[in-house]
Amino acid sequence: MNPYTELLRLSPVGVLVLAQIILFVQDLVREDKRLSQYISAAALALTCLLSVYLASSGNTVSFANSTFVFNSLAYYFGVIFSLSALLVMLSAGSFLGRAEYAFEFSSLAILGVLGSFFVASSTNLVALFVVFEMATTATYGMVAYARRSKLSAEAAIKYFVVGAVSAGIIIYGISLIYIATGSVSISSVFSVTSQSSQLLDVGVILLIVGFGFKIAAFPFHMWLPDTYEGAPYPATTYLASVSKVMGFAALVRIFLVMGPAIYALGGLNWEVIFGLLSILTMTFGNLAALVQTSMKRMLAYSSIAMSGYMLIGLALGTSFSYAVLLYFMLTYAIAKAGSFIVAQFFESEHNAKSIDDYAWLARKSPLSAFSLTIMLLSLAGIPPLSVFVAKFFIFYASVQVGGYWILLAIAGVLNSALSLYYYARVIKNMYIGLAGESPPPQGPRLERIGYMIPILTCLVLTIALGLGEGTVIAVAKHAVTTLSATVF
Amino acid sequence: MAYSEILFMFVAGVTIISALGVVVSKEIVRSAAYLILALVGVAAAFSLMDSLFMAMIQLLIYAGAVMVLFLFGVMLTRKEAPAKRRRLLSRTNLSYLILSVVLFFLVARSGLMDTSVLGGIPGPVSAIAPSLYTEFKGVLYALAGLLVTVGLGAIYIVKKEANEGKNA
Amino acid sequence: MASFAELVWLVPVVPLILSPFPIFAGDKLPRKGSFVAIFACAVSTVISAGALLTLPSIPYNVSVQWLLPGTATSIDVGFYLDGLSALMITITSGIATLILVYSLEYMSHEEGLPRYWTEMMIFTGSMLGFALADSVILMYVFWELIGACSYLLIGFWYTKPEAASAAKKAFVLVRVGDVGFLIGMILLYTNGHTLNLPAILSSPATLISSPQMRTIIALLVFAGAIGKSAQLPLFPWLPDAMEGPTTVSALIHSATMVAAGVYLVARLYPFFQVAPYALLVVGAIGALSAFVAATMGLVSFDIKRVLAYSTMSQLGYMMVALGVGAYGAAMFHLMNHAVFKAMLFLSAGAILHATGARDLREMGGLLKKMKVTGLAFLIGGLALSGIPPFNGYFSKDLIIGAAYQYGLVTGDFWIYLLVLISALLTAAYIFRAFFVAFILPPKSGATKEVHEVSLTMTIPMVILIGFTLVTGWLWSPLMDVFQPFVTYAASLGATPQAPSYVGLLTLAFALTGIGLAYLVYIRATVPPERFSSGRVLSKLRNLIMRSYYFDAAYDRVAAGVENGIALALDYFDRFALDGLVNGIGRSLVKLGRDFRSMETGEIRNYVAVMVIGAVLLILLFEVL
């Protein structure tokens, strides 16, 4: 391969590594909070654009003796990671302004994306585990970033302990798979000694449990509400978008390639496991979100519920369902990140924490309230917004597969209807206030430009991705088919 | 039962008991001492399985270097042990114990009839380096990234407060 | 220059695109952005009218692929312009413009005007989009938007508890029907693999081969129409919706929300025709609604509620027309009704504006003081009763005639009888309202000085009076341009014509109704109290006054469901959430609470739950 082509194809990660070095140097020369924020945002934007280009043009390049292979799938995930992280960095301005240091946050965000990018491209379970831990460690630091806040520290400790246990479970699973197959590479062809097929299955189940922590599937979700609530908002946004999609990336990477062989050799019905987790997760998340009074916690539980819908994509295991899952993750990450950013803005500007505090906010900040409305409606699955399209396709996929899998679609539709209730409550509060309370006088309208850029980006993308879903799904389909066709 | 097997059982028992001791003991220095014992036990288990190289690495890196770091950390940050005593034999703890035993048997059950000897294939130690630096060099790079991230996060958490730093 | 048909996509888009202006910039714009709203609706009106007059001979359809592109089952969205949709958008945009002009004055003293203009624009725009949509899914999207806007507009005075609860009622009851529509749409797609109107309308019988399935789908879709058009049994939201501003009622009752239900059935009429029994259900529900609503109109004292019941009753007529195969007559009545009902509401709004009264018993002698308003109400009442030469006469006559013919063909005369009696009741209740409010002297000393409302409010009324006189002739013994115009498919068939004595009988019934009202209220030969004395009569009156206990029944059901959900949630909150988070423990082992490391939950338990999950998964999938 032409070295320049190779360089171009590695450029998304290259840009991030370079940005990290620049950040180190910049921090040594002169501490400047704004500058480090801008550098990381610029690097993420560049990565995002490069990934979009490379994902749509279907390139492949391998790195480090084929331990990491960057193909359309990896680039597609890279788009989600860098775009969400970019949104985080854009919205983190005022948080970093108040924090003691800004350099570490920017660096951790970049390193987290770098790790996630490699997760989506690894072809080896051990390598995948190491980069997975790299990305997770970056989020530990981010969650603990508000060092003086007791909540932040508590959130970080919980997250860390549960994360450490799940890391142990993953490595246990990998070692069992290694014993069973004698190989740690993620490949569609492997063999087991006949007696150890069960060992392989147990290993795979442990992998699902370990990664289930990251995507917060029921019952491995328990850390999530506390951590989301305690972490500073930018970290929460990062967890809900980059980090969660990274968990799915690992699962997609493993099961898309190894799935059929696991079923054939070990006889493990991993699709049923995902289906079971999916129904439990979405039902639990929605029911719990119904009774929340804090906005941040409600969004946290709703993100658990969204994991449930996305798990359908894994449960069906068809190439169409994987493609829809990819599209779903993009729309989810944007809508969720956008909601958290608006919540952050409302908390810093209007001191709005509980859902009741959201009363009349549409009068005070009409544009952000409108954006939040659109994004919540999108999450609730109102056409023609993007998450609706994603849900529609994923339910369609399960109907297409037929049989008992239709149950997933039914559960999903019922849950979506249920979820409308708690999303609508926020919207109602913002626009027509609480019952029996008269509106406040028309105050000054507060909309900060620093927040409006990411919020409006999310708004436009939420609408645009719903209307123009064709191209994205075409790219996702291409990514899935190239990967499942390639043998490593 | 062969003599080596009895020895292995003994070593494994010691390791498990010391691991429990790490969790149970009230004083942090004593915990650290138990941890050393547990790590040495693992090293002994490796050597009993004819993996001398792994045993040496285990001794040098974990029982040696890592533990020294731990002890330094304990000495520098040592605080009084929490006054409140936790009841060791609570039903909660018992249920956790039962849980882990069940998990162990579930895993063991699927592997019990397995006779593969993956860990026992003897080979030259010199073969490790080439495979580490060629076949698995990607993992090595990834480890570098992991260490950078860990370092950055850890340094941030223990960093002095910004205004303090200026005064100092 | 582009033809009007090519511009028709602008009709819904202009109000929708411009709708954010009043709410975001209304305070800086002159008159709170009202001109943006009027301008947008006027543009829509001009384009719609142009499209209506220069309609191409073949339907104009433009669409883009939206979901599942490139597959055989792709879902397209776009606009579909034919006689029916052109007529509907012209009615909607025209009447909306008049009502918006009227609200310039009517709403001028209200708080939150920018919100009002924005919501009205979205409401109108959604209705226009609904009328033009070329696929059922796009129709459904706009359908939901209409519902959401009606919720906001009915609850415009959200600080008033009645308004808030009325809005909620409208939303919930209409949604019950919407669920039916949604399920019907999904069944249509899964069985017929398309949601495109041209495909559905061209060969509905081959699209879905099973007649049972066709009936199920048609009835589910009709459930949506029942909700939106306030037919039995989902009607109680309609009278309560009178808590909103009168202009909103005028728009809801004439050309937008309730018309959407009828339009939905008319749009999918070829499909209903091939669904056995579906049209029978449509006609039966329409006839019952027409009758029940007319009786309720007779006992109500609130002038707006009288009008609301009359809307329900007239929509029942349209459903009857659809049910008995008089598709053209249904659309004709839809148009005429939109005109005179808007006028009646504007007139009632003028009374409310001038006197502040909604209760008939507080009014009286208004004709002398408010000439234009009184005239508008009188003409509206005559049109509603079906007296020539006003437009209501022509369409109602056609519908009742068609119902008679239907009776002749099938032997079922009860639909005809119900609508015939309703015609009498209609005339009676509307003239009862007219006599009490305008002719009789005020009962108690209404000292407040009453003046005619300003020109901004009378001009729309006068324009509507003109239309009331004109539109009826479009399909009359003189000419028939209307029916061929809206008949977009060959299968629709011509409206059956009844012999002329049927028409005369109808007219006699209507005149009897007016005469009865005259005798009771003006001549006072029979005091109105007579009708509520006696055991049977008072019981009957009570039954009607309480809207046949539908309200009470819904309240019961709602309370039950609400309590049930609250109970379940409470249980879930207390046991499932707390129980799961903090104590797997509590059921497995009694959790020792002597040590809590964290404020909200214990990490140990989190980890324990994780491990339990792993154990259960292995047990389930490996051991069992």
pLDDT greater than 80 at residue C582:
no
> How many whole angstroms separate alpha carbon C161 and alpha carbon C369?
33
The neighbouring-strand residues paired with C196 are C135
Residue contact C621–A273, C-beta within 8 A: yes
- Which pLDDT value is given to residue C588? 36
Which chains have at least 3 CB atom pairs separated by less than 8 Å from chain B? A, C
CB-CB: which of B111, B137, B152 is closest to A141? B152
In this prediction, residues C542-565 reach a mean pLDDT of 69
A87 vs C413, higher pLDDT? A87
Whether residue B130 sits in one domain with residue B65 = no
- Which pLDDT value is given to residue C73? 66
Residue contact A114–B141, C-beta within 8 A: no
Instruction: Encode pLDDT of A38-51 as tens digits.
Output: 999 999 999 999 99
The continuous run of DSSP H or E covering C62 comes out as strand C60-67
- Which pLDDT value is given to residue C172? 78
Q: Of A283, A299, A285, A287, whose CA–CA distance to A358 is shortest? A: A299
- Which pLDDT value is given to residue C445? 55
C446 touching chain B per CB within 8 A: no
- Which pLDDT value is given to residue C233? 81
Q: Which two tokens stand for residue B69?
A: 């770091």
- Which pLDDT value is given to residue C61? 78
- Which pLDDT value is given to residue A375? 94
Say if B22 falls within a structural domain: yes
pLDDT greater than 50 at residue C498:
yes
pLDDT greater than 60 at residue C615:
yes
Residue contact B152–A107, C-beta within 8 A: yes
- Which pLDDT value is given to residue A279? 93
Residue C82 DSSP label:
S
Residue contact C621–A222, C-beta within 8 A: no
- Which pLDDT value is given to residue C534? 67
Q: Which of B23, B50, B82 is the last residue of a domain?
A: B82
Which chains have at least 3 CB atom pairs separated by less than 8 Å from chain A? B, C
> Residue ranges per domain, chain C?
339-545, 552-623
Instruction: Encode pLDDT of C415-451 as tens digits.
Output: 888 888 898 888 888 888 888 888 877 766 555 667 7
pLDDT greater than 50 at residue C583:
no
Residue contact A205–C66, C-beta within 8 A: no
- Which pLDDT value is given to residue B113? 54
The continuous run of DSSP H or E covering C541 comes out as helix C535-545
Residue contact A273–C190, C-beta within 8 A: no
Residue contact C612–B99, C-beta within 8 A: yes
Say if B87 falls within a structural domain: no
pLDDT greater than 80 at residue B30:
yes
Domain that holds residue B150: 126-168
Whether residue B68 sits in one domain with residue B3 = yes
Contacts of A115 in chain B (CB under 8 A): 145-146, 149
Q: What percent of chain A has pLDDT over 90?
A: 51
Instruction: Encode pLDDT of A263-296 as tens digits.
Output: 888 888 899 999 999 999 999 898 888 888 889 9
Please give the radius of gyration of chain A, using alpha carbons only, rounded to the nearest integer: 22
Quickly state the pLDDT bin for C594 (edges 50, 70, 90): very low
pTM of the model: 0.73
- Which pLDDT value is given to residue B119? 47
Say if B90 falls within a structural domain: no
> How many whole angstroms separate alpha carbon C133 and alpha carbon C128?
9
- Which pLDDT value is given to residue B167? 42
Q: Of C479, C333, C311, C326, whose CA–CA distance to C404 is shortest? A: C326
In this prediction, residues A296-320 reach a mean pLDDT of 93
- Which pLDDT value is given to residue B166? 43
- Which pLDDT value is given to residue C391? 87
Instruction: Encode pLDDT of A15-28 as tens digits.
Output: 999 999 999 999 88
Nearest CA in chain B to C608: B96
- Which pLDDT value is given to residue C447? 53
C31 vs A475, higher pLDDT? A475
Q: Which of A399-408, C81-90, C451-460 has the lowest mean pLDDT?
A: C451-460
- Which pLDDT value is given to residue B127? 77
Q: How far is B110 from chain C (nearest CA, A)?
A: 9
In this prediction, residues B6-29 reach a mean pLDDT of 87
Q: How many CB atoms lie within 10 A of CB A48?
A: 22
In this prediction, residues A474-487 reach a mean pLDDT of 74
- Which pLDDT value is given to residue A56? 85
CB-CB: which of A111, A122, A201 is closest to B145? A111
Q: Which of B51, B82, B113 is the last residue of a domain?
A: B82
Q: Which of A127-131, B62-66, C150-154, C524-528 has the lowest mean pLDDT?
A: C524-528
pLDDT greater than 90 at residue A251:
yes
Instruction: Encode pLDDT of A157-176 as tens digits.
Output: 889 999 999 999 999 999 88
Whether residue B141 sits in one domain with residue B64 = no
Say if B109 falls within a structural domain: no
Tell me the range of B90-99, C65-74, C163-172 where mean pLDDT is highest.
C163-172
Say if B91 falls within a structural domain: no
Whether residue B131 sits in one domain with residue B68 = no
B100 touching chain C per CB within 8 A: yes
pLDDT greater than 90 at residue B14:
yes
B95 touching chain C per CB within 8 A: yes
Instruction: Encode pLDDT of C104-141 as tens digits.
Output: 888 877 777 888 888 888 899 999 999 988 888 888 88
Quickly state the pLDDT bin for A307 (edges 50, 70, 90): very high
Residue contact B103–C623, C-beta within 8 A: no
Q: Identify the three-state secondary structure at position C53.
A: helix
> How many whole angstroms separate alpha carbon C314 and alpha carbon C486?
20
Q: Of C308, C326, C446, C441, whose CA–CA distance to C395 is shortest? A: C326
- Which pLDDT value is given to residue A487? 39
In this prediction, residues B33-42 reach a mean pLDDT of 90
Q: Which of A167-176, C18-27, C397-406 has the lowest mean pLDDT?
A: C18-27
CB-CB: which of A118, A141, A195 is closest to B113? A195
Instruction: Encode pLDDT of A374-433 as tens digits.
Output: 999 999 988 789 999 999 899 988 888 888 888 898 899 888 888 888 898 898 888 877
Residue B89 DSSP label:
T
Residue contact C573–A291, C-beta within 8 A: yes
Do residues C100 and C38 lie in contact, with contact meaning Cβ atoms separated by under 8 Å?
yes
Mean confidence (pLDDT) of chain C: 80
A437 vs C339, higher pLDDT? C339
Q: Of C124, C121, C120, C103, whose CA–CA distance to C31 is shortest? A: C103
Q: How many domains does the structure of chain B reveal?
A: 2
Q: Identify the three-state secondary structure at position C384.
A: helix
Contacts of B106 in chain C (CB under 8 A): 615, 618-619, 622-623
Write the burial class of residue A37 (CB in 10 Å: 0-12 exposed, 13-18 middle, 19+ buried).
buried
Whether residue B3 sits in one domain with residue B75 = yes
Q: Which of A55-69, A184-198, C563-577 has the lowest mean pLDDT?
A: C563-577
Say if B59 falls within a structural domain: yes
Instruction: Encode pLDDT of C285-314 as tens digits.
Output: 999 999 988 888 888 888 888 888 888 899
- Which pLDDT value is given to residue C526? 67
